[in-house]
Amino acid sequence: MQNLLTIEFERLPTESITLDSLDINQAVELSNSIPDEDRTWETYINALGLFTFKSWIEERDSHLQVNWKKSTIAKPSLANVIPTVTNLEVGNFKVALITIGSLFDEQIPLSRLAVESPECIPHFYILVEVLEEHERGIVRGFITYPQLIENLAKQTILKPDWTYRIPLTWFDPELNRVLLYLRALEPQAITLPAITDESKQLLAAMESQITQLLPSLAVPSRKIWEVLSWEQGSVILNSPELLELIYKLQTSSVNVQGAPSVVSLRDTIKIITQPAINLGRWLWNEIDEVGQALSWTLLPQLAPLRTALRSPEEEFGTIVTQLQAKGIEISPLARCGYNNFLLAGLPLRVYAAAWNLPNDNHSWSLLLILGSAAPNTLPHNLKLRVSDQTQILVEQAIDSEQPEAFLYTRVVGDWDEKFIASVSIADDVEVTLPPFAFDIRQA
């Protein structure tokens, strides 16, 4: 027995790093958030590779800080679809980890996203071997982004699953070089592609295709490359909101029915791609450029009624009084604006009121009131829909038996949340208002 143990011990390379129980437990925790069994194991190995690399850096230079909290593996919605750990920060450098279970294969898989998406492209690709059964890992080699691109120009092996196959011989095994680069090189010395806002424009152009295809990803075992083209997938992979939606779909968190409707997906894409009105600036008696361009008008703060004139200010005051009589809470510090618009020739007016929630510094409330810009009752088929970035929150319709002069709804969200509202009188007759945001940090 002693000889067998000695032989087994000698098989482990001396440069291997032991993974402690905290690392292993954290890797298990990260992988448990992934709904598909194959991707769960992949995430577990990636996490062990991350902690191997982190320990390797710490053992060699205590001044180099490894920040993985912004990396793809730290966010379940990203780790769920991206097989390579990207957006890892070491000092001022971006690093991607290519984690493998063994070096028996001469071709190493690398996610196409980490090669072609500017948001995920690193300065260095680090190859890490994970000896999972032995709870150890080995940093094997590295290659810079320019070197990788130069090699790919000569030899490209791209698979249908959106991964490149990289020869093992491309990686430099002299790891002291990458340590020297991380210590002494300026990040600007390795040129990376510029990050642009092009993906939002492409997403808007692909709205119809994506809203039809995305619901089929509700099945956890369904891979994104099995459903979408690379052009479609690369746009989605650069949209954190849509990745979060896919993740919630696959973990059954959106609704009990599973896949969202095409309508809610369309709303989500509009929230992502369209500029929002920042209602936080209304607190400072300002309307931002988006609101000005769309002819929104800011009303004074809530005050007692003084006249019987049907001005927007007085009308809003009347409506607020009616809503408060129904038990709807509206802060006296709320600021309101309104906008007149036409829907199929029908003059309508929407009021939007926003305020901070008491005792909560990071939440806000949005009250929307839809009425007629002329002194007429609303049509019986009028509907008001409000969505956030993942689902439809509210759908209001006129009660044909008890018609009211207005529709209203109130929603609550964090400062980082946006809402979008649409008004319709038929499936194909609809006006979508600009997204509403509330960020007093930009006010």
Q: pTM for the whole thing?
A: 0.82
Query: What is the token pair recorded at 113?
Result: 């996203």
Residue matched to tokens 């510094």: 361
114 and 248 housed in the same domain = no
183 and 309 housed in the same domain = no
78 and 94 housed in the same domain = yes
The 8 Å CB, 24+ separation contacts for 46-49 are: 46/73, 46/79, 46/83, 46/84, 46/85, 46/97, 46/99, 47/73, 48/19, 48/23, 48/24, 48/99, 48/130, 48/132, 48/137, 49/85, 49/97, 49/99, 49/128, 49/130, 49/137
Q: Which domain CATH number covers 79?
A: 3.40.1350
Select the more confidently predicted residue: 331 or 145. 145
120-129 average pLDDT score = 96
How many CA atoms, within 13 angstroms, populate the side-chain half-sphere of residue 204? 10
Q: What is the 3-state secondary structure (H, E, C) of the chain?
A: CHHHHHHHHHHCCCCCEECCHHHHHHHHHHHCCCCCHHHHHHHHHHHHHHHHHHHHHHHHCCCCCEECCCCHHHCHHHHCCCCCEEEEEECCEEEEEEEECCCCCCEEEEECHHHHCCCCCCCEEEEEEEEHHHCEEEEEEEEEHHHHHHHHHHCCCECCCCEEEEEHHHCECCHHHHHHHHHHCCHHHCCCCCCCCHHHHHHHHCHHHHHHHHHHHHCCCCCHHHHCCHHHHHHHHCCHHHHHHHHHHHCCCCCCCCCCCHHHHHHHHHHHHCCCEEHHHHHHCCCCHHHHHCCCEECCCCCCCCCCCCCHHHHHHHHHHHHHHCCCCCCCCCEEEEEEEEECCEEEEEEEEEEECCCCCCEEEEEEEEEECCCCCCCCCCEEEEECCCCEEEEEECCCCCCCCEEEEEEEEECCCCEEEEEEEECCEEEECCCEECCHHHC
267 and 293 housed in the same domain = no
- Torsion from C-alpha of 178, 183, 184, 185, nearest 10 degrees: 60
Among the three residues 163, 189, 215, which one is the final residue of a domain in this structure?
189
In DSSP terms, 164 is beta-bridged to: 110, 158
- With a cut of 70, say whether residue 290 has pLDDT above it: yes
Query: What is the token pair recorded at 199?
Result: 């993906």
117 and 262 housed in the same domain = no
How many domains are there within the chain? Answer: 3
pLDDT of residue 5: 41
- With a cut of 90, say whether residue 344 has pLDDT above it: no
Residue 357 pLDDT level (bands cut at 50, 70, 90): confident
Residue 98 pLDDT level (bands cut at 50, 70, 90): very high
254 and 379 housed in the same domain = no
Report CA Rg, the chain: 27
What range defines the domain where residue 367 resides?
277-442
Select the more confidently predicted residue: 257 or 379. 379
75 and 24 housed in the same domain = yes
Residue 327 pLDDT level (bands cut at 50, 70, 90): confident
C-beta of residue 80 within 8 angstroms of C-beta of residue 247: yes
Lowest average pLDDT, out of 230-239, 251-260, 280-289, goes to 251-260
Cα–Cα distance, 242 to 265 (Å, whole number): 9
Select the more confidently predicted residue: 443 or 279. 279
313 and 358 housed in the same domain = yes
pLDDT of residue 442: 55
Distances (CA, A) of 242 to 84, 197, 272, 438: 19, 16, 9, 21
- With a cut of 50, say whether residue 397 has pLDDT above it: yes
Residue matched to tokens 């390579």: 84
pLDDT of residue 439: 82
Among the three residues 127, 158, 189, which one is the final residue of a domain in this structure?
189
282 and 252 housed in the same domain = no
Among the three residues 168, 189, 210, which one is the final residue of a domain in this structure?
189
Residue 389 pLDDT level (bands cut at 50, 70, 90): confident
290 and 426 housed in the same domain = yes
54 and 183 housed in the same domain = yes
124 and 208 housed in the same domain = no
Tell me what the pLDDT averaged over the chain comes to: 86
